[in-house]
Structure 1
Amino acid sequence: MRLCSIASGSSGNCIYVGDEDTHLLVDTGISKKRIEEGLHNLGIKGDELTGILITHEHIDHIQGLGVFSRKYEIPVYATPGTIEGIRSMKSLGKIPEGLLHEVEVDRAFSLGDMKISPFAISHDARQPSGYRIDNDKKSVAVATDLGMYDEYTVEHLKGLSGVVLEANHDIHMLEVGPYPYVLKRRVMGDKGHLSNELSGRLLCDILHDGLQQVILGHLSKENNYAELAYETVKLEVSFGDNPYKGEDIPMMVAKRDQMSEIITL
């Protein structure tokens, strides 16, 4: 199984997960051109995609969906609430008839040789979800836009081979930064985004010897930077109640403006 961040951050998100037979995108929050460039670097054509999984209807997760879906007519999978949000987003234009497919959280379905398990996340969208993706050998998950996490979240992220995990903001940078008070409260709230510290604590709860790669994603442009997210999460692991040290974990930070390396699990 391969995992790659084509783009990740508060300004646009698009993650590739796939193997020889099945090619998936999680979110299309960047332009069609950038999605195509990312797929080209992966050796994949747009019409070779098996499906697109959408986590929620915020523009940084669906910006390119209208143009991309009209060109390639790839099936799109999302919760009923997210599909309702997509249909109400006038800037996307009309999505071709029959492309939008409803999925339910906690009810797995198959695409190609992949088992897709949507799970509920806490975010200020209509019906947001994360996705766990398994083939018969490996498993990955995309878990971003989490205002908070609990045992339910942890259960869905156990036993992974790779994970894209939100590390959105540094709490101090957010507190003293330029955001208006209402927006600061939203970001820090239970339906906002995970801080670097909380990301590290969640990682502590899902660590195991088979976790081969962690990609820290969805960093805020204004309230975080890559080195700070990386070091904070490593510290949380090192000082957490687990047998690991931060340097034991293969970890990288996804960039908003360029692809990550292609990770083979």
Structure 2
Amino acid sequence: MSLQVCVLASGSSGNCIYVGSERTGLLVDAGLSAKETFRRMELLQLSPARIRAVCVSHEHNDHTAGLRTLQRRHGLPLYANAGTIEALNRNPEMQGVAWQVFTTGSPFPIGDLTIEPFAVPHDAFEPVGFVIGTGRDRVGIATDIGVATGLVRERLKGCRVLIVESNHDERLLQEARRPWHLKQRIAGRQGHLSNTSAARLVCELAGPELERVFLVHLSAECNRHDLAMQTAQQILAEAGHGRIRISLTYSDRISDVWCG
């Protein structure tokens, strides 16, 4: 079965990923407005009618800003776990939103795709990553994680595509004009992966089936696209995995497209 993957937006201003088969389209997170989400889909010649649902990784606004409109104006089902729903329901604007509840760790179907949510360490109520696909076409998504736990590594094994956080360059983070406690949070176990940590994780997961890696959630202040790419390519090449293609992602435009 053919899959298509594109990161519509990534960064602190909004995150949204498209994963679709020939019959079923999904959004992972909805940090853009509905209007902007559909505009970027049009660049891929994808109709909004293709979207069957939105799967939510956690409650932070850069992943959820467009949820309410996507459901109330466009009728899209919203899938999240109980912890994320509880957190979002504290926002008065989310009152009355109807949820489809999944259990972290339990796979569930949407159309012809299987979604496998798994727990990740991040400073949110019940954050998750996802593995989405069917058969050999599996896409692993871990956009906000402080550290790659054993569970994260286990769930992401065997994917053809990885969408992995590469948030900051360690030197730029330390030099940034940010409070020390914020730097500690970002670099901590509940924060965000550095470029080096992301590249090392990819090396551990680099089986023969892995074809493409999207680096996501790059910090505008504490990272640069060229640094993220250089770090990933160098570490992968030194480990003998230079064949794997690396794609960057952006806040203001869509990424490359992977078609399996």
- TM class by shorter-chain length? over 0.9
Whether the aligned pair in 1 keeps the contact of 2:109 and 2:115 (CA below 8 Å) is yes
- Are 2:113 and 1:114 aligned? yes
- One-letter amino acid of the counterpart of residue 201, structure 1: R
Match of 1:126, SS state, is: coil
Cα displacement (A) at 1:151: 1.8
TM-score for the superposition, normalised by structure 2: 0.95
Match of 2:64 in 1: 62
| CA distance in 2 between partners of 1:44 and 1:155 (Å) | 32
Cα displacement (A) at 1:47: 3.6
Match of 2:252 in 1: 257
- One-letter amino acid of the counterpart of residue 168, structure 2: H
- One-letter amino acid of the counterpart of residue 252, structure 1: S
Match of 2:137 in 1: 138
Match of 2:228, SS state, is: helix
Whether the aligned pair in 1 keeps the contact of 2:5 and 2:258 (CA below 8 Å) is yes
- One-letter amino acid of the counterpart of residue 231, structure 2: T
Matched ranges for 1:15-94 at <5 A: 15-90=17-92, 92-94=93-95
Match of 1:3, SS state, is: strand
Match of 1:183 in 2: 182
Match of 1:4, SS state, is: strand
- One-letter amino acid of the counterpart of residue 72, structure 1: H
Unaligned runs of 5+ in 2: none
- How many residues of Structure 1 are paired with residues of Structure 2 in the alignment? 258
Tell me which moved more, 150-159 or 113-122.
Answer: 150-159
| CA distance in 1 between partners of 2:211 and 2:235 (Å) | 18
| CA distance in 2 between partners of 1:60 and 1:224 (Å) | 18
Cα displacement (A) at 1:189: 0.6
- One-letter amino acid of the counterpart of residue 70, structure 2: F
Cα displacement (A) at 1:93: 4.3
Q: CA RMSD in A?
A: 1.3
Runs of 4+ in 1 over 4 A off after TM superposition: none
Whether the aligned pair in 1 keeps the contact of 2:88 and 2:94 (CA below 8 Å) is no
Cα displacement (A) at 1:46: 2.6
Cα displacement (A) at 1:188: 0.5
Q: Percent identity?
A: 36
Match of 2:153 in 1: 154
Cα displacement (A) at 1:76: 0.8
- Are 2:191 and 1:192 aligned? yes
Tell me which moved more, 103-112 or 135-144.
Answer: 135-144
Residue by residue over 1:55-88, the C-alpha shift from the partner in whole angstroms, topping out at 9 and shown as x without a partner, is 0000000011112221111111111000111211
Whether the aligned pair in 1 keeps the contact of 2:53 and 2:79 (CA below 8 Å) is yes
Cα displacement (A) at 1:95: 4.7
Whether the aligned pair in 2 keeps the contact of 1:47 and 1:74 (CA below 8 Å) is no
Cα displacement (A) at 1:137: 4.2
Whether the aligned pair in 1 keeps the contact of 2:28 and 2:56 (CA below 8 Å) is yes
TM-score for the superposition, normalised by structure 1: 0.93
Whether the aligned pair in 2 keeps the contact of 1:144 and 1:164 (CA below 8 Å) is yes
Whether the aligned pair in 1 keeps the contact of 2:247 and 2:256 (CA below 8 Å) is no
Match of 1:5 in 2: 7
Matched ranges for 1:220-259 at <5 A: 220-240=219-239, 244-245=240-241, 247-259=242-254
Residue by residue over 1:21-49, the C-alpha shift from the partner in whole angstroms, topping out at 9 and shown as x without a partner, is 11000000111221111222233333431
